Structure 1
Amino acid sequence: MKINDEYLKEQLKHVYWLNGGCCAGKSTMIKKFVKELGFQTLEDNVMKYRPFTNPVEYPALQYPHSGLDWDKWFNKPNDVHVHWLFQIVEEMMERLK
């Protein structure tokens, strides 16, 4: 089924994606949005994709993991972290195709 782009834009104009790394405050913000603004949520957890992904094809979905050096993880440069966040979204969208 082909969906008209304008129709899709209209239907999704009030849909917001909130993403970020560990301990970024995503859950806190979502709770505030629900309580104070009456938002409805649909959660999508990166961890659920991990068992079904190949680490070579989907490297961003493999982080964070139990063997990670957390000092390096939290102290990496912003541009590296932003690149990872964009890669996560791309890999999740690819998995959903």
Structure 2
Amino acid sequence: MRPEHVAALRARLQHVYWIGGGSGAGKSTIARRIAARHGLRLYATDDVMSDHAGRSTPEDSPFLSEFVAMDMDARWVNRSPETMLETFHWFRGEGFDLIVEDLLRLPEEHHVIVEGFRLLPRLVKPLLAVPSQAVWLLPTPDFRRSAFGSRGSLWEIARKTSNPERALSNLLERDRMFTERLYREAKTLELQVIEVDTTTTEDDLAEQVTEAFGL
């Protein structure tokens, strides 16, 4: 994308706050709390994944097309966590342009908070008017497992395979590596990160994110 186009996008998205991070970090919960407290519009990227998949083509989303063609064992049991990480379409940034398209359609007179694991630091950084408008929440493995367990979703995907134990192990390891990658990428780009462990309360995390945004 040409520099002038990036600058134009940055100007049009200067009313947007971004919360990225690893799965299970509490992004949705914290975004809802901050949106309600400060009167922001909430845009949850998880809620539009099906819509974005339908708007994608094999040409612009080859990893998504490959993933859709797999059965559950091929996705979660028969591949290594490393391969799962490297080939997962949303981790590759596929569909991020559709997130931007959606945000550009929203009224600019209201501030927006957008959240989801699809907000990769390298893709968000060029769109930031100021770095303080983005933060990444990075859960420890223990926090992630505890969070999924408390929601009752720990085995949601794994139980649909022929080997739930292996599938869950693969998923948790893939997500651990993804979180580490987010940390390295955000730090390299000098973007804000908040590490979330089992001692972190929801109130503490909401306050830290609010402070990071300068709200």
User: What is the TM-score normalised by the length of structure 2?
Assistant: 0.28
Alpha carbons of 1:4 and 1:59: their partners in 2 closer, same or farther (altered >3 Å)? closer
Q: Which has the higher contact order (CA 8 A, sep 6+)?
A: 2
Q: Is the 8 A contact 1:50 1:62 kept in 2?
A: no
Match of 1:73 in 2: 172
Residue 69 of structure 1 and its aligned partner are, at CA, apart by: 2.2
Where does residue 34 of structure 1 map in the other structure? Answer: 35
Q: CA deviation at 1:24?
A: 0.6
Indicate whether 1:9 and 2:10 are aligned: yes
What is the total number of aligned residue pairs between the two structures?
82
Paired-residue identity, %: 20
Q: 1:26-45 deviations in whole A, cap 9, x for unaligned? A: 11111111111111122222
Q: Structure 1 stretch 40-49 or stretch 16-25: which is displaced more?
A: 40-49
Give 3-state SS (helix, strand or coil) of 1:69's partner: helix
Matched residue, 2:209: none
Contact 2:19 2:27 in 1 (8 A): yes
Q: Distance in 1 between matches of 2:38 and 2:27?
A: 16
Aligned AA (1:81): F
More strand by share: 2
RMSD of equivalent CA atoms: 4.2
| Distance change (3 Å), C-alpha of 1:9 and 1:70 | same
Larger Cα-atom Rg: 2
Distance in 1 separating the partners of 2:168 and 2:182? 16
Cα gap change, 1:62/1:50 in structure 2, threshold over 3 Å: closer, same or farther? Answer: farther
Residue-by-residue CA offset, 1:6-53 (whole Å, 9 max, x unaligned)? 332221112122222322101111111111111112222285367871
Please name the residue that 1:25 is paired with: 26
Give 5+ residue unaligned stretches, structure 1: 87-97
